[in-house]
């Protein structure tokens, strides 16, 4: 069973947030890692969708939801990473 991106980012993000609230030095690395993953994977998914459009066996009837949601997720992660770097 593939649980997707959330099973990897969630614990790392939670660890980074807890570390940040308790002012741990390693929290910045954990948060930056989680946000970096949040930017990277939606972009990779969009590249895979675009690359597989005409592949045999590929049957995705409507891509529009992916092209709407995944860039928003990547932008949120990018904004969070930018904000994290600017404030620390």
Query: What is the average pLDDT score of the chain?
Result: 88
Q: Tell me how far CA of residue 79 lies from CA of 6, 33, 48, 61, 65, in angstroms.
A: 18, 14, 23, 31, 21
> Dihedral of the CA atoms 79, 81, 84, 88 (nearest 10)?
-130
The larger pLDDT score, comparing residue 88 to residue 81, is at: 81
- pLDDT surpasses 60 at 47: yes
Q: Please tell me whether the overall predicted TM-score, pTM, comes out greater than 0.85 for this model.
A: no
| Per-residue confidence (pLDDT) for residue 88, from 0 to 100 | 75
- pLDDT surpasses 60 at 23: yes
> Average pLDDT, stretch 56-81?
93
């Amino acid at each position: 069973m593939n649980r997707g991106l959330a099973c990897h980012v969630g614990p790392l993000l939670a660890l980074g947030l807890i570390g940040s609230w308790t002012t741990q030095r390693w929290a910045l690395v954990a948060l930056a890692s989680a946000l970096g993953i949040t930017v990277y994977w939606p972009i990779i998914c969009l590249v895979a969708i675009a690359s597989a459009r005409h592949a045999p066996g590929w049957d995705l009837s409507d891509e529009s939801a992916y092209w709407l949601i995944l860039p928003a997720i990547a932008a949120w992660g990018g904004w969070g990473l930018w904000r994290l770097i600017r404030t620390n």
